[in-house]
Each structure stands twice: as structure tokens, then as C-alpha cells.
């Protein structure tokens, strides 16, 4: 392990400023720091998902996929904390796509938009997917004003797709069928 944290409270952020790698200081409201925070929140959402009961036939595959995503999110965070560094490899995107396709192939076809929910694990996965989308939007906003690894945006987009499929698989494994959206508004 290359980093050892001996002091957790430094008080250096008490004035609304925080540090990036290399000593650069930014306001906590900056797009870069907001994107880092959204990645952190997404990683925490994955941790909550990992703490739920996962259906036995899928548990090992899903658990290893989610832990891999958590490591990738820390790599993405390192990219944001050290602008110009690239840590996420194209192979990670391909791995996510492969997992997405193999799990989706085992699910019944979709007949329309579905409501988030189902089993506790499935609902938690849907929530993690929504947090992933927010992290993706934060990276897109940052990329409009600063250089961001374009792979990072593609990766988060694909990961949110994977989480949608995983939510369906978790619900399917818990014998909780997808609930298809039925529009309630006025028809025009």
C-alpha cells in the first residue's frame, strides 16, 4: 500500500477549500470537487448494495463485479484528484460490457419501462444506478470546462446500464417480477 493516513482531521477544509493531489487547492463547490463527491457517494451506494442479501445463484458474480466497480471508482477519483493522470483502462469498460451482456441474456425481455423497486437488493441497485447517473452528469459538466478522460464518462454510462440489468437480475433471483410502468396521466 503506497499511502498511509495517520491524521484524519486536518482542519484544512474548514474554510470551504480542499486539496487535490499535488497541493492544488479548490473551493469545495468546484465542479471537480463535486464530481469527486458524486463518485464517493456512488461508491458508498455500491457498499450499501454489497451489504444486502444477494440471491445465491448470482451472489458471487454480482459481488465480484460490484467490488471491481468500487476499485474502478477510486481509480476515477484518483484521475480527478491528479488532473492529467489516467488510471482507468479500456479493459475495465470492456469487462463491464461483457458482464452486462451475459447477465442480460439470462433475463426475460423487457416489455416497457419498469419501476425501480422489487426486492431490497434490487431496489438498492436501482438507487445506486441513479447515483451513478448523477456522477456521470457531474463528469460531463466538468468536461465542458476542463479536460476529463473521455473513457471515464463512457465507463459511468455503461456502469449505470449494468446496474439496471443487475437490479432486474436481483429481482428475478428473488422471484420479484419487473413492474411495468403504466402511465397515469391524461391521455392526449
Q: What is the pLDDT of residues 58-87, one digit of tens each?
A: 889 999 999 999 999 999 999 999 988 899
Sequence-distant (≥ 6) Cβ neighbours of residue 79 within 8 angstroms: 85, 86, 87, 88, 149, 152
One of 3.40.50.720, 1.20.1200.10, 3.40.50.11750, 1.10.510.10 is the CATH number of 39-173, namely 1.20.1200.10
Comparing 8 with 59, the larger pLDDT belongs to 59
Confirm if 138 and 73 have CB atoms less than 8 A apart.
no
Of 173, 176, 163, the closest CA to residue 50 belongs to 163
pLDDT in tens, 143-175: 999 999 999 999 999 999 999 999 999 999 999
Give ∠ CA 73-103-152 in degrees, rounded to 5. Answer: 25
Q: What is the pLDDT of residue 111?
A: 87
The predicted structure's pLDDT at residue 52: 95
The pLDDT score that the predictor gives to residue 22 is 75
Confidence of residue 88 (pLDDT cuts 50, 70, 90): very high
User: Contact, 62 vs 181, CB < 8 A?
Assistant: no
Q: Where do we find the cell 423497486?
A: 117
Per-domain residue ranges for the chain?
39-173
Residue 6 has a pLDDT of 60
H or E stretch at 132: helix 120-143
- Distance (Å, rounded) from C-alpha 124 to C-alpha 115? 13
Tens of pLDDT, residue by residue over 90-145, are 999 999 999 999 999 999 999 899 999 999 999 999 999 999 999 999 999 999 99
Proportion of the chain above pLDDT 70, given as a percent: 87
The Cα–Cα gap between 29 and 47 comes to: 25
Amino acid at each position: 500500500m503506497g499511502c498511509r493516513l495517520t491524521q484524519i482531521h486536518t482542519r484544512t477544509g474548514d474554510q470551504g477549500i480542499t486539496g487535490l493531489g499535488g497541493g492544488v487547492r479548490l473551493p469545495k463547490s468546484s465542479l471537480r470537487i463535486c464530481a469527486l463527491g458524486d463518485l464517493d457517494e456512488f461508491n458508498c451506494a455500491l457498499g450499501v448494495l454489497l451489504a444486502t442479501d444477494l440471491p445465491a445463484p448470482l451472489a458471487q458474480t454480482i459481488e465480484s463485479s460490484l467490488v471491481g466497480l468500487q476499485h474502478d471508482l477510486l481509480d476515477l477519483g484518483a484521475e480527478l484528484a491528479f488532473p492529467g493522470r489516467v488510471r482507468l483502462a479500456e479493459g475495465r469498460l470492456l469487462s463491464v460490457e461483457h458482464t452486462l451482456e451475459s447477465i442480460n441474456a439470462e433475463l426475460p425481455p423487457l416489455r416497457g419501462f419498469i419501476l425501480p423497486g422489487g426486492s431490497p437488493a434490487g431496489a438498492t441497485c436501482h438507487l445506486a444506478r441513479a447515483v451513478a447517473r448523477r456522477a456521470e452528469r457531474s463528469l460531463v459538466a466538468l468536461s465542458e470546462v476542463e479536460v476529463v478522460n473521455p473513457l471515464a464518462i463512457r465507463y459511468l454510462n455503461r456502469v449505470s446500464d449494468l446496474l439496471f440489468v443487475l437490479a432486474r437480475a436481483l429481482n428475478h433471483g428473488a422471484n420479484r417480477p419487473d413492474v411495468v410502468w403504466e402511465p397515469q396521466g391524461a391521455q392526449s
